[in-house]
Amino acid sequence: MNIGGDLMEINRPLVMGILNVTPDSFYEGSRCGTDARILVKRIEKMINDGVDIIDVGGYSSRPGAADVPVEEELERLETGIKTIKAISHDIVISIDTFRADVARKCVLEWGAHIINDISGGNLDSMMFQTVAELHVPYVLMHMRGTPGNMASLCDYGDDGVMAGVMVELGRRADMLRSMGVCDIIIDPGFGFSKNLEQNFKMLGSMEEFHSLGLPLLVGMSRKSMICKTLGIQPEDALNGTTVLNTMALMHGAHILRVHDVREAVEAVKLVGATTGEWQWTK
C-alpha cells in the first residue's frame, strides 16, 4: 500500500486499533471523546501493544446513533489525528468516515493515510472521485442502506449472502479501478445489513473473498454476532472476539480491526507460529 509516498507491504496480518473520538460508540469502553488525557493514554497503550494502524472515528455507525454535523466530525477527527502525531509520526492513520469532504481535509491538512468508508461510497457520491484524486488506500466496506435501516436490508435472495456481498463488492471495486484507484482493501461488513446467521456464514466461507484479489479487512470486535450468540454485553466480549479473530486469521484475513490491540497481536503471533506462513516483525 502507498502510505504517504512510502510502500507498506502486508507480509503478515496487520492489526488496526480503533480510536473512537465519540461519546456514543456501541462499546462504552472505546469511547474516548476529545479528552486529551484519555486519548493519549489509549494511543500510547495501542502503540505499546503493537498496533500497525490506528483507525480514528468521529461518527458512530451504531443503529440509532445521533447524526453528527460535518463541523463536529471534523473537530473530533482533527483532535484524534493531531494527538496521534504528537505521540508518534510512525503510526499509519486511517480515517473512519463516509463523507468525501471530511476525508479530503483529513488527508490533505492533517496527514491521514487511509480512508475507511463503511458505506463503500454509497452515502457520498463524491467519495470515489476523492479517493482517486488523493491516491490513498481505501477500505471498501459492504453495507446496504444506512446504519438506521440496514437491519431491514438482509435479503440476499436464493444465491445467499456470500454471492450477494461478493458481487456488490466486486462491482464497487471495479468502479474504483476504472478511476485509477490502486490500493483497495475490502471489508465484508460484519454486522452491517447481515443477520446473525449470515455473519457466521461469511466467517466460515471467508476464503471465497480472496477470489476478488484484494486485501481483506475483518472487523468483528465485540460486535452483536458475539454478544447475541453468547448472551453477553460488549464489555464481556473480548474472549469471543479473540476466538473469531483467530478463525478469521485461519481463513486468510489480512487486517484485523479491533478495540483490543494486545490480544489481536497475540492471536497473529500464535496463528503465524502454528501455520508457519509468517513471522511477527515490528
Grid coordinates in use for 46? 495501542
- Exposed, middle or buried, 109 (CB in 10 Å: 0-12/13-18/19+)? exposed
> Which residues lie below 8 Å from residue 149, measured CB to CB, with a gap of 6+?
none
The residue from 45, 257, 262, 269 that is catalytic is 257
Give CA–CA dist 136/238, Å, rounded: 32
Break the chain down into helix, strand, coil percent, rounded to 5: 45, 15, 40
Active site residue 257: yes
Instruction: Give me the phi and psi of 16, to 5 degrees please.
Output: -105, 115
The residue from 194, 223, 228, 269 that is catalytic is 223
Compute the C-alpha angle 14/84/118, nearest 5°: 55
E strand map for 161-243? 184-187, 217-218
> Which residues lie below 8 Å from residue 165, measured CB to CB, with a gap of 6+?
142, 156, 188, 189, 202
Q: At what angle do helices 36-48 and 70-87 cross, to 10 degrees?
A: 50
Active site residues: 223, 257
